[in-house]
Each structure stands twice: as C-alpha cells, then as structure tokens.
C-alpha cells in the first residue's frame, strides 16, 4: 500500500505545496490507483520545499524541490512504476539521498513527530506515542513525582531566559489557591524565527500533552495558549487538535479516569512583541494593553486573574511528554553538563540550507551553520551569526567554535534566545543590523518605563545618523553609556536586552562604526545615503536591460551605447545591478 505525503507547513505552502498536492490528487484519482494522498507538517528542510514523500511498507523516499512537472514524473515513475526518480531524491530511509548531511547530526525529541504525521490526525499522533507520557503521569505518578521528574530531567525554559522548568513548576505547585492557570507562550516574537510555529503546525498534540501534564503537576485545571495572530495555520491546527483530544478524553473532565479535569483555551494575540514577556502576556489575556507588571509578585504567586500561574514556551512544553514517557535519565543523556536535552533553531539568512534544526545542546555554532546548514550562499565569506533576535547579539565569524549552551553564548554578549539563528555574510553592514534591531525594539517598546521608551529612541536616532553619514566622534561612547543605563534600569526584559545587538556589534565590528563616522563610508556598501550606483563604461555593452527595468527611469542610453545613471533620480534600489549580465554596474 503506497501513500503520498506532501509537506504543508507554512514554508511548504509558500513554496507552492498546495499546487503540488492538487496535481498529485488529480493524478491519483485519474489513475484510479487507490494511492492515498495526505499531508504533513514541516520536515525542517524549508530550503528544499515543496517536499513530497512516497511511503511504502514503512520505507520513506522524500523528494525535494518538487514542482507540478516533477510531481507528475514522481507519480508516474515511482508511485505507479515503482522506480524512484533517483536524481530528485533528497532523503531515503535506507540512508540515501542528496540531503542526508542536513539530518545526520540532528537529534529529534521535540520534532520527533513533525513531518512524520498528519498534524490533523490524532490517530497518526497516537501511533507515535502521543499522550503516552500523560497516561503514565496520570495513572502511575503523583503531582509531586511529575514535578520531580521534570526537575531531574533538568530541562530549561526554551523561550529565552533558560530558567529550569521543574523549579518553576515547583513554585507554582507550592501556592495553594482554588484556581490556578498554566499558560503556553506561543507569541514567538523574535522576528526571523519560526520554531514554535513549526512545532504547532507539525505536531500540536505535543504541546497540548505538555500543558495537561503541567496542569496536573502544579494543580491547574485551566490552560491558555497565547498564540501569535500571524500564525493562522498553527491556530487552525491547534483548534482541530484540541477538539480531537477532547473527543478522546485527554482533555475535559476526569481525564483517563484519573479524576483530574483540564480545559484548554486558545487566545489569539493582536500583534505586540512585548506580549511575549510573561506579565505583559497576562495583561493581554485579561483584555488590557500588554504592559509588563513589576515583579515580584511573580506569576507563580499572583499571575493571571491574580491567581498562581505558570508560563512556559511552546518548545519547553513539547519536551514534557517525551520526558515523562522515556524518563528523566533518557533526556539527560542528551546535552552538556549544565544543560540537558536538545534545542531547536530556525536557521535562516545567508545560509545554503535554511530550515528547522534540532541539535543536542553542546554542538558548536560552526557545526550547525557549516555542516548542517551547508555554509553561506554563493561562496560569500561568513561574517556573523545573529542569535537571540532583538534581545541577542551578533557573534563574529572567528568565534564560530563557541559551544551552543546558555553560559558560553551569554559570554559572547549574545544569548541562547528562543532559537533564531540568522547567518550574515560579507555583504551585511553591522551598523545597519544594529539600527535595524533598535528600530524594532523602539517601535515595540510599550512606553511604560522611561529608560526603554526614551533611551531606545535616543539610541536609534544616533544609529540613524551614523548610517546616514552624519555620525560624530563620541557617538559610539554615547551609545555604550546609554546601553548600560537602559540595561540596568528598564522595567522588563525588552528594555533590559534591547542594547545587546548594539553592544555586540560595537564589540566585534568597531571598525565599521568608525568607517561610517570618520570616513563617511559604508564598507559593505549597504547604507544608501553613503553610496551611489554608476555604470562602468568599459563593461557596458548597451543591452538596455537596466534602462528598461529601472522603476524610476534613472538610466538613459541608446542601444549598443554606454548607459548612464541620473544620480538625482536614482533611488539606489539595486535592480539595475541585479539585472546586469555584464557586471557593468558598480557601487561606490
């Protein structure tokens, strides 16, 4: 019995997966072959989407980069004919295929079922042991024993701060109250990260199971999932999964005959980065402006609706079912002395194989970027890797041997973060990157505390001046002073970490700041105020492509004659340079 499975996470859909699915469904119907066509979540190999899998008697053959034409070929030759289309095979469960290098060093705990099951089918999930950890917890363990098991596993929060989850549960369990809450933070605010989205889209049951177990452990009968509004597919699949879990008795009253009741509700966010901060998130669920509260009291004592509450990140919770099912010892076999388990990263930017990567904690950045990710694109030199998004920093190329663990990463000035990993190459301007992040945090600052509200504004203004060639001696020192003041005085993590991207770029790329300030030059030729586009006369053959493509008619010249760019009209969009086949457009 053959089955065709199409990867339909957000990436798969964006890359055209729906058209491929439709084509395959039509082919299957026409051929009247009885071949079933179904879908799955993200397999992690976003760079190779759309992906199509042929499953036969447990043997998996996965094709990458499939378009409608390829789909037809695969259907005819492989699904009907039984002969794989060899040159298009990305992965084969026998160990073949062109993309084994991407998976070879990965370990899958959190993503165990992602890309392997239909996320809308609870039976698929159950066949791969979903809810087995819950069953064990409810039927054989007390709440204290569950907390102890999670403590022993040593799993730390994957939302950024890395606080030990077991300890957090212990605090929340320690407060007596007639009602308590467990909250899943699915706000995924780091712009440029998609771990949590992929988990929710690929295996929503893993998160639901983690929440029920957490509820049992701390004595909460109510759970909320606070999900980012930009993730409609994740929200839809979560809803389907919750309904299915209710129908099977994993949610609701007297779960699995244990006497434990648990109800789960989805709250959709409304687009505010600060709502990823736990107390702001609580304000938002309560229907208010999402402004952080002063801690203490911590949510474990007084959180949602003033009741003891526990907040965990999506990925943290997705570990819990596995830990209960296989035991704390199995979990702590992965990782380092200090940090157990795995971490999921969203690898993107100027990297060859971008996608979702789950590695045991303790690998080096280089192993992830170069070996799993295949290094930079187009043979450009690697310049830096950004980790931790707006709260993190840029780690330079000569520090790629840094071990991926909480403490070594913090020592670089970056952070482990929630899992964003953006690769930058020689073309990226580090001052521009600092300006980019400050612009983000400044516009997302909630305005409650002065250091964040006004301090980030002053920093942004300074960075904008520098990138426009209006920087002055002493600007860098001013940025450093402001950074330290904001870090020590801001009310919440948003402000406390906002200067990190600036501080790390100053620390490792000071020469770029100096070039902008002293020489009024952008070494990477990215800052538009400091560059101009020109035609190189001995290379231009007068093909007229640039003149035709220029959106503002800034290029003039007759066919077969050297062209010229009107600097007054030019908006420096770079289309001419990208379209020129003769490398005749130069930036100076």
Ligand X SMILES: Cc1cc2nc3c(=O)[nH]c(=O)nc-3n(C[C@H](O)[C@H](O)[C@H](O)COP(=O)(O)O)c2cc1C
Q: Which of residues 33-72 bind ligand FES (CB under 6 A)?
A: none
Q: Which residue number, 112 or 196, has a Cβ lying nearer to other proteins?
A: 196
Q: Which of residues 148-167 bind ligand X (CB under 6 A)?
A: 157-161, 163, 165
Nearest-CB residue for ligand FES = 192
Q: Which residue number, 122 or 311, has a Cβ lying nearer to ligand X?
A: 311
Q: What is the DSSP string of 321-356?
A: HHHHHH-HHHHHTSB-SS-BSEEEEEEEESBSS-EE
Q: What's the Cα-to-Cα distance from 95 to each of 50, 56, 81, 103, 106, rounded to whole Å?
A: 21, 16, 22, 10, 14
Question: H or E element: which one contains 19?
Answer: helix 17-31
Residues 43/51, Cβ–Cβ less than 8 Å? yes
Distance CA 484, CA 19 (A): 52
Q: Which residue number, 192 or 574, has a Cβ lying nearer to ligand FES?
A: 192
Residue choice 99, 277, 405, 432 for contact with ligand X (CB under 6 A): 277
List the beta bridge partners of residue 360: 342
Least gap, CB of 254 to ligand FES (angstroms): 42
Query: Any idea what DSSP says for residue 16?
Result: T
Q: Which residue number, 25 or 167, has a Cβ lying nearer to ligand X?
A: 167
Residues whose CB falls within 8 Å of the CB of residue 26, separated by 6 or more in sequence, listed in order: none
Least gap, CB of 517 to ligand X (angstroms): 30
Is 436 a binder of ligand FES (CB under 6 A)? no
* Closest C-alpha to 341, from 360, 326, 320: 360
Q: Which of residues 389-428 bind ligand X (CB under 6 A)?
A: 418
Classify 381 as helix, strand or coil: coil
Distance CA 209, CA 251 (A): 9
Least gap, CB of 422 to ligand FES (angstroms): 8
Q: Which of residues 171-190 bind ligand X (CB under 6 A)?
A: 185, 187-189
Least gap, CB of 99 to other proteins (angstroms): 14
Residue showing tokens 């069953």? 135
Residue choice 191, 469, 557, 574 for contact with ligand FES (CB under 6 A): 191
The footprint of ligand FES on this chain (CB under 6 A) covers a number of residues equal to 2
> Distance between alpha carbon 285 and the CA centroid of its chain, in Å?
23
Least gap, CB of 344 to ligand FES (angstroms): 15
Q: Which residue number, 49 or 149, has a Cβ lying nearer to ligand FES?
A: 49
Least gap, CB of 137 to ligand FES (angstroms): 36
Q: Which residue number, 171 or 436, has a Cβ lying nearer to other proteins?
A: 436
* Closest C-alpha to 301, from 151, 156, 148, 174: 174
Residues 23/58, Cβ–Cβ less than 8 Å? no
| Residues at the contact surface with other proteins, assessed by CB under 8 A | 10-11, 13-15, 46-47, 49, 188-194, 197, 229-231, 267-273, 284-290, 305, 346-350, 354-355, 386, 389, 420, 422, 424, 428, 433, 436-437, 440, 446, 549, 551-552, 571, 573-575, 578-579
Least gap, CB of 436 to ligand FES (angstroms): 11
Is 439 a binder of ligand FES (CB under 6 A)? no
Residues 304/285, Cβ–Cβ less than 8 Å? yes
Q: Which residue number, 97 or 189, has a Cβ lying nearer to ligand X?
A: 189
* Closest C-alpha to 339, from 401, 262, 416, 431: 416
For 406, counting Cβ atoms within 10 Å of its Cβ (0-12 exposed, 13-18 middle, 19+ buried), the class is middle
Q: Which does 271 bind (CB under 5 to 8 A by kind): ligand FES, other proteins, ligand X, none?
A: other proteins
Residues 417/391, Cβ–Cβ less than 8 Å? yes
3 state SS for 568-582: CCCCCCCHHHHHCCC
Least gap, CB of 192 to ligand FES (angstroms): 4
Is 494 a binder of ligand X (CB under 6 A)? yes
Q: Which does 272 bind (CB under 5 to 8 A by kind): ligand X, other proteins, ligand FES, none?
A: other proteins
Least gap, CB of 265 to ligand FES (angstroms): 27
Residue choice 16, 164, 192, 374 for contact with ligand FES (CB under 6 A): 192
Least gap, CB of 469 to other proteins (angstroms): 17
Q: Which residue number, 198 or 284, has a Cβ lying nearer to ligand FES?
A: 198
List the beta bridge partners of residue 56: 2, 59
Least gap, CB of 553 to ligand X (angstroms): 44
Q: What's the Cα-to-Cα distance from 273 to each of 62, 222, 230, 311, 440, rounded to whole Å?
A: 37, 25, 12, 16, 9
Q: Which residue number, 198 or 412, has a Cβ lying nearer to other proteins?
A: 198
For 414, counting Cβ atoms within 10 Å of its Cβ (0-12 exposed, 13-18 middle, 19+ buried), the class is buried
Phi/psi of residue 373, nearest 5 degrees: -80, -10
Q: Which residue number, 42 or 492, has a Cβ lying nearer to ligand X?
A: 492
Q: Which residue number, 161 or 399, has a Cβ lying nearer to ligand X?
A: 161
Q: Which residue number, 349 or 393, has a Cβ lying nearer to ligand FES?
A: 349
Least gap, CB of 312 to ligand X (angstroms): 4
Show the site string, 305-334: x = touches ligand X by CB under 6 A, - = not: ------xxx--x------------------
Least gap, CB of 202 to other proteins (angstroms): 12
Q: Which does 260 bind (CB under 5 to 8 A by kind): ligand X, ligand FES, other proteins, none?
A: none
Distance CA 172, CA 311 (A): 10
Q: Which residue number, 345 or 509, has a Cβ lying nearer to ligand X?
A: 345
The pair of structure tokens assigned to 224 is 């909320």
Residues whose CB falls within 8 Å of the CB of residue 259, separated by 6 or more in sequence, listed in order: none
Listed in sequence order, the DSSP H helices in 333-429 are 365-366, 406-412
Q: Residues in the site for ligand X, rule: CB under 6 A?
A: 157-161, 163, 165, 185, 187-189, 274, 276-278, 311-313, 316, 418, 492-494
What does the binding site for ligand FES look like in residue numbers (CB under 6 A)? 191-192
């Amino acid at each position: 019995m053959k089955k065709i499975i199409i990867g339909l996470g957000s990436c798969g859909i964006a890359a055209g997966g729906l058209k491929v699915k439709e084509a395959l469904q039509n082919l299957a119907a026409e051929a009247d072959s009885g071949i079933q066509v179904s879908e799955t979540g993200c397999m992690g190999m976003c760079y190779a989407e759309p992906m199509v899998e042929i499953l036969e008697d447990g043997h998996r053959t996965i094709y990458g980069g499939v378009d409608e034409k390829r789909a037809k070929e695969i259907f005819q030759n492989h699904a009907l004919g039984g002969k794989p289309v060899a040159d298009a095979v990305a992965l084969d469960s026998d160990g073949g295929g062109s993309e084994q290098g991407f998976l070879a060093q990965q370990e899958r705990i959190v993503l165990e079922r992602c890309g392997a099951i239909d996320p809308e089918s609870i039976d698929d999930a159950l066949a791969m042991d979903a809810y087995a950890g819950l069953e064990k917890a409810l039927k054989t363990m007390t709440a204290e024993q569950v907390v102890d098991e999670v403590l022993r596993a040593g799993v730390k929060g994957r939302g950024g701060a890395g606080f030990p989850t077991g300890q957090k549960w212990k605090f929340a369990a320690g407060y007596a109250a007639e009602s308590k809450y467990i909250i899943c933070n699915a706000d995924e605010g780091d712009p440029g990260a998609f771990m949590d989205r992929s988990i929710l889209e690929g295996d929503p049951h893993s998160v639901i199971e983690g929440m029920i177990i957490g509820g049992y452990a701390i004595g909460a009968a109510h759970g909320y999932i606070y999900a980012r509004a930009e993730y409609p597919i994740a929200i839809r699949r979560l809803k389907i999964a919750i309904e299915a879990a209710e129908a099977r008795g994993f949610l609701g009253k007297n779960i699995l005959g244990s006497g434990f009741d648990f109800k789960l509700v989805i709250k959709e966010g409304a687009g505010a980065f600060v709502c990823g901060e736990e107390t702001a998130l609580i304000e938002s669920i309560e229907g208010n402006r999402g402004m952080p509260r002063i801690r203490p009291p911590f949510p474990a004592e007084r959180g949602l609706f003033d009741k003891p509450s526990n907040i965990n990140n999506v990925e943290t919770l997705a570990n819990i079912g596995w830990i209960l099912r296989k035991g704390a010892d199995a979990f702590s076999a992965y990782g380092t002395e200090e940090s157990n388990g795995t971490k999921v990263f969203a690898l993107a930017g100027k990297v060859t194989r971008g996608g979702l990567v789950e590695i045991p904690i303790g690998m080096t950045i280089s192993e992830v970027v170069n070996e799993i990710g295949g290094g930079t694109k187009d043979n450009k030199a690697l310049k830096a890797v950004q980790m931790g998004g707006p709260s993190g920093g840029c780690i330079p190329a000569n520090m790629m041997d840094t071990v991926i663990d909480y403490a070594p990463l913090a020592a670089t000035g970056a952070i482990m973060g929630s899992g964003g990993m953006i690769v930058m190459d020689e073309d990226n301007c580090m001052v521009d990157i600092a300006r980019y992040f400050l612009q983000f945090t400044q516009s997302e600052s909630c305005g409650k505390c002065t250091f964040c509200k006004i301090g980030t504004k002053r920093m942004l203004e300074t960075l904008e001046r520098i990138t426009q060639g209006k920087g002055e001696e002493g600007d860098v020192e001013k940025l450093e002073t402001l950074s330290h003041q904001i870090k020590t005085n801001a009310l919440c993590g948003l402000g406390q970490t906002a200067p990190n991207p600036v501080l790390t770029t100053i620390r490792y790329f000071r020469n770029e700041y100096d070039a902008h300030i002293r020489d009024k030059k952008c070494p990477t030729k990215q800052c538009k105020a400091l560059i101009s586009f020109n035609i190189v006369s001995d290379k231009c053959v007068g093909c007229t492509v640039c003149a035709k493509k220029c959106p503002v008619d800034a290029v003039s010249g007759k066919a077969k004659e050297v062209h010229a760019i009107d600097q007054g009209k030019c908006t420096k969009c770079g289309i001419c340079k990208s379209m020129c086949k003769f490398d005749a457009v130069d930036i100076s």
